[in-house]
Amino acid sequence: MSTSPLTILLASPRGFCAGVDRAIQIVEVALEKYGAPVYVRHEIVHNRFVVESLEAKGAVFVEELDQVPDGFPVIFSAHGVPKSIPAEARRREMLYVDATCPLVSKVHREAERHFSEGRQIVLVGHAGHPEVIGTMGQLPEGTVLLVEDLDDVAALQVKDPDNLAYVTQTTLSVDDTARVVDALRARFPNLHGPRREDICYATTNRQAAVKAIAPKVDMLLVVGAPNSSNSMRLVEVAKLHGCPASRLVRRADEIDWSELDGIGRLGITAGASAPEVLIEEILRDARAHRDVTVEEISIGTESITFKLPRILLEPETTA
């Protein structure tokens, strides 16, 4: 064990956002209201610690509706789902609760509005991500064009270059997305965009906090999951803004403290689906190995909250 000093710079804001907090509450309240088991289509948020904690309370996670037996409630994850999913749930007369983040739902409504006004939609996002699948699934197949990077923008084939609109995934890199949108606007000057930025406040704030501490540390750890888009973007942002030695960790047990012997200043943040308890776990481990001083670097506070769906707040009716 090394007792050498280690200064930890904690990024703030970090961890849970309002959409994630709401989604987890939805599962917990549904378990209280309906009893276990409650089924959840896809991981409610991209964090195994959270998923396993909810499983211990009686949640059962599945990938598709056909894995849900008749007669049990099902919850749709915070990432959003294609319209075909609630349609199938209604066909089967299932009791379902939609935990889609309201900021993702806002993107869905934007895409529908542009489509109803006759525009072709360009979605900036990562292929295969549940949020992208959900957004593309709001409209008829083939009507949303996905672009991931500048090469995709250059290769984009559209019906009418003067009748286009774009929306974006909510968890992208702010800087990368700005470059892609600039390239889209350069190619299509009459491009319609969102009234307000699609990248959510939490993604924007967490990336700004990382930019504030990355140049000041020797290494930066992002607590999150490899399938969490916003967590992976935090690693990229840290590397691009002054800390090449940045990496993702799921839990404290992934950290080999002997490898950090030469590190004097360590940055720590957490993706929007990572609970604060995982940060506390790392701080406890750090104190067991080093003489730790913790400094919190805050770029502001967050006060946004989202209401639970009405179906969970209404009293149960009896026949």
Based on the fold, state whether residues 94 and 158 are members of the same structural domain.
Answer: no
Based on the fold, state whether residues 10 and 35 are members of the same structural domain.
Answer: no
Instruction: Give the pLDDT confidence of 214-237 residue by residue, as tens digits.
Output: 999 999 999 999 999 999 999 999
Q: Check residue 209 and give its pLDDT.
A: 97
* CATH (domain of 115): 3.40.1010.20
Q: In this structure, are residues 50 and 24 in contact, taking their beta carbons and an 8 Å threshold?
A: yes
| Residue numbers of the domain that contains 73 | 18-100
**Residue ending a domain, choose from 187, 213, 235:** 187
Q: Which two tokens stand for residue 222?
A: 């992002």
Residue 121 within any structural domain of the chain: yes
Based on the fold, state whether residues 127 and 181 are members of the same structural domain.
Answer: yes
Residue 316 within any structural domain of the chain: no
Based on the fold, state whether residues 95 and 107 are members of the same structural domain.
Answer: no
Based on the fold, state whether residues 126 and 148 are members of the same structural domain.
Answer: yes
Looking up tokens 């409650």 gives 38
Question: Alpha-carbon distance 124 to 304, whole Å?
Answer: 25
Residue 228 CB burial class (10 angstroms; 0-12, 13-18, ≥19):
buried
Residue 159 within any structural domain of the chain: yes
Residue 317 within any structural domain of the chain: no
Q: Check residue 246 and give its pLDDT.
A: 97
Residue 267 within any structural domain of the chain: yes
**Residue ending a domain, choose from 57, 80, 100:** 100
Total structural domains in the chain? Answer: 3
Instruction: Give the pLDDT confidence of 176-226 residue by residue, as tens digits.
Output: 999 999 999 999 999 999 877 788 999 999 999 999 999 999 999 999 999
Looking up tokens 């000057």 gives 189
Amino acid type, 167: V
Q: Is 131 a catalytic residue?
A: yes
Strand ranges (E), 30-109: 38-41, 59-62, 74-76, 96-98
Sequence-distant (6+) residues with CB within 8 A of 133 are 81, 82
Give the DSSP H or E segment for 221.
strand 219-223
Strands 291-298 and 38-41: unpaired
Question: Alpha-carbon distance 249 to 253, whole Å?
Answer: 9
**Residue ending a domain, choose from 51, 69, 100:** 100
Based on the fold, state whether residues 290 and 211 are members of the same structural domain.
Answer: yes
**For residue 50, how many other CB atoms are within 10 A of its CB?**
23
SS3 assignment, position 6: strand
* CATH (domain of 50): 3.40.50.11270
Q: What is the mean pLDDT of the chain?
A: 95
Q: In this structure, are residues 167 and 148 in contact, taking their beta carbons and an 8 Å threshold?
A: no
Based on the fold, state whether residues 142 and 205 are members of the same structural domain.
Answer: no
Based on the fold, state whether residues 212 and 291 are members of the same structural domain.
Answer: yes
Catalytic site residue from 28, 55, 131, 296: 131
Based on the fold, state whether residues 24 and 47 are members of the same structural domain.
Answer: yes
Residue 256 within any structural domain of the chain: yes
Q: In this structure, are residues 179 and 205 in contact, taking their beta carbons and an 8 Å threshold?
A: no
Q: Check residue 112 and give its pLDDT.
A: 97
Residue 135 within any structural domain of the chain: yes
Q: Check residue 319 and give its pLDDT.
A: 45
**For residue 298, how many other CB atoms are within 10 A of its CB?**
12
Strands 96-98 and 291-298: unpaired
Based on the fold, state whether residues 205 and 275 are members of the same structural domain.
Answer: yes
pTM check: above 0.85: yes
Residue ranges in the chain modelled with pLDDT below 50: 319
- What b/e string do you get for 169-186 counting C-beta neighbours within 10 Å, with b at 16 or more? bbbbbbebbeebbebbee
Q: In this structure, are residues 5 and 288 in contact, taking their beta carbons and an 8 Å threshold?
A: no
Based on the fold, state whether residues 47 and 88 are members of the same structural domain.
Answer: yes
Based on the fold, state whether residues 225 and 177 are members of the same structural domain.
Answer: no
Q: Check residue 8 and give its pLDDT.
A: 98
Question: Alpha-carbon distance 117 to 176, whole Å?
Answer: 28
Residue 193 within any structural domain of the chain: no
Handedness of CA 222, 241, 122, 146 (dihedral sign): negative
